[in-house]
Chains A and B, each alone.
Chain A
């Protein structure tokens, strides 16, 4: 049972994981993105439409990435180049995403595709307990593992990563060192948004291979909260996304097994854990362990330099 539970945890957590990783890239560069829910929907629709038209899942994933990247670029242009309000622009992006996918998704309703299948990794997939959950999954899940490590390495082991973090912490200092602040921020928003789109595509290509309006059902907002929960670290994003996925999977399985624990208590758990973790991370924050990018939410203008 534990093996099955772990497997369900990974599958339920993956769309949120992609979205959280994308949001972290945005926020590390100093830009708040509340358009995650809209970007996920755009990714879900573009991914489904791409696969539907081409018959290739890879093309679907690329379409999801590109579509969300383009939509995210609008947010990037407004907040970075025009220095607009990041909260307003992000919320508008979510509404835009919901609306535009509803409009263009009409013709996709009821169509079917062959979704992602499990691919067992020889040798490892037979491991007890963790084999099925981590080594007998679909390619997008393997890609998410890769992305978690790659993003951490990028942030802390490359010059580009350092530049990205610096424009989020202290853009003026980055500017002095010759880092193109505006371009870096814009690219972070665009590429981060693209990764959020893959999270949406996971829903329409793997979880439930179909398109239905509003199929993300609020997962984007969970990702927004998880960024803080994860204190802007990709490893903790993985832990957070799986915690969320795991609790959901667990409460459903408790019901299926016929336990007599109140459904209300079971369904309260994800939110209870959110509060708990927020309390813990706030306490850690007060002890000076803040990971929040110093310049988060602040537009940068060279002329404003103090």
Chain B
């Protein structure tokens, strides 16, 4: 075959793929319409099949042509309303379409494929109904050998072309028009008699289409690339000129230009790789239909957000994991119709697929309204299968138990079906998604349904990473998605922080023990070491799935965007590596696979940290990040970092005293500053040429506190003595690493030194004339006193409770009335989430504002808080923000109450 022919046939394959891409969903839509034929839709499918038939005839792919021809006949009958597209009919058409696609993918050998069964089925369908149709139709079902003489082939090609032109003419952007509408519903009716064939078919038909070797790119993107390429050439010329002229002053502009063009070029090229996720979603209507038929269930699929775009490589890789999740939703989630009716649900279950952008990532959710996952049952199974000991099961929370579904070997299905239930899969799904840099989360409500949330990065090709040094000069890149935090341990603290538990090295990070992996040991560069290190250690706290550990490296280099390059086949079995990248100096750095290192080092599942503490330790979890500093070298103070807007290094001679107040000449203006000794009983600071100023905002303006010597910024437990050193401006004291640290309350200090600032504060809203009453639930003495103090100084009336149970008692006591609740999350007896749930459980509290003030501030915590009914979630402890939120919430709740009274 000549090269030209190959090219043309290649085009035919690409074009036919496009024709077939949506045929499945269109057939299903035709089936859904039943007797109310949507002739446009049928025409579209007809045209697609017809074009394939025409071109196949031209190339002499007689089997393709023959099969297409028979399909065309059936479609023609449907179009002429002589045949109702019942499931039995569409089934035959779908199977034929599958075979057609298979033949197109290997078109060179298509003539060897036997299509007689499909032809017979199609003819049976056509003739079965054709008995009621005019007999003319029967004549148009010739076998292809008889029908295709040379001239006729030619004719059909011409006809195909004409039809295509018509099709293109009516669609301004063919590629867009090929996509299904943004949200489509494909109800699927049960056809139990077809169950068996559907099951057979779902096994034989491969769900993943072959990776495409060419993609369509919008012309305007190509134009843009062209322009940018031109820009790049210009920039290069400039670069050469500058290099030749030896004029060093021009470098800045040239480098700036190259920089700009490069990033724009990168961005535009990434755009060419982005594809709508709908390309994957489009296969699911068929999957759901076939599966629910096979299982005797009724299911409808709703799809949202198929226009959301992801990198081509991700689109190709998520197909199988998503298919698995969707199949699971139907098989494990949705109940049979009779069970659903008994449970008071509609007999038709819904599986919803949703894709949306969230925080720079793409979220894909698979929700079903089925039976949900029973955590207790999961535990039972896990115990029965020896995955858990009964003790472990008892200690395990429901949330943790849910994660069991990702363990290999565990299945929730009562019996093994052909569809699922062998317990193979969810672990693979999770690993595959994590390999893509994504995460999976499960949420379930017993009897109501399950939602699986898959989060994926937009692209794989370029990722932000931290470059670290290990094993001498070797550099390695760690994807930022895996990094939680960086910890530096000084050599003198090492003995305390590094410990050994049964030979395994652990690190005490705040209140948890973190398993440690030394990167050089993991990479086999040196043997495990004994004893504490002689110099400071860098620990990178990394997370892969539910596993968190500390990676000890020799040094940190830089944080940069890296281009991921694959490693050669020889390194396929290096589990610790995810790929390679080329650094700025042209050297190769290897990219670490955090999950791979964990499995290489045989790290176990993490121990649940909640079991480590009892309720007596409540408050211990509360950690606060403190700026530790000394005023006079012998006296230490701390400021919560949340309040500090920034730290500035200033020269002492920029400080002035105007009208009895200190000011700092600063960024062309002045900043009012305080010395600690002005307001607090302490020794004055020694004279120094340079100082730090901690800038914070209070009373709607910025002010600064002079911080002569910064000791450290540390996360410390808030076990605060609120008695011994208490004075205005000092909220309490604590002993930290042998130092007595006094905690400075910047707002109180500012109020004490500049009372004039606070007079013009806006009055707090008072819904019924009196001051609003606030209930504060907080188990830590320190924070409780702080909160109460904050609100009292603002003119609120405050009642405090040591935990959620006391708060609930106060709240439900008819002698009390509260306008708002401020609560901690982690509390003994009744925690903040439960308190919020109880409050929202009663109608009279429906409008009661709830503000959570917590040190747990992960996205997940915030989401759970919102679900429990918390209006606002605050990180401990920013007074200004808290006050602003309180004022705002009170205002909306009182206006809501007013409208409530009116109606």
Q: Do A and B come from one complex?
A: no
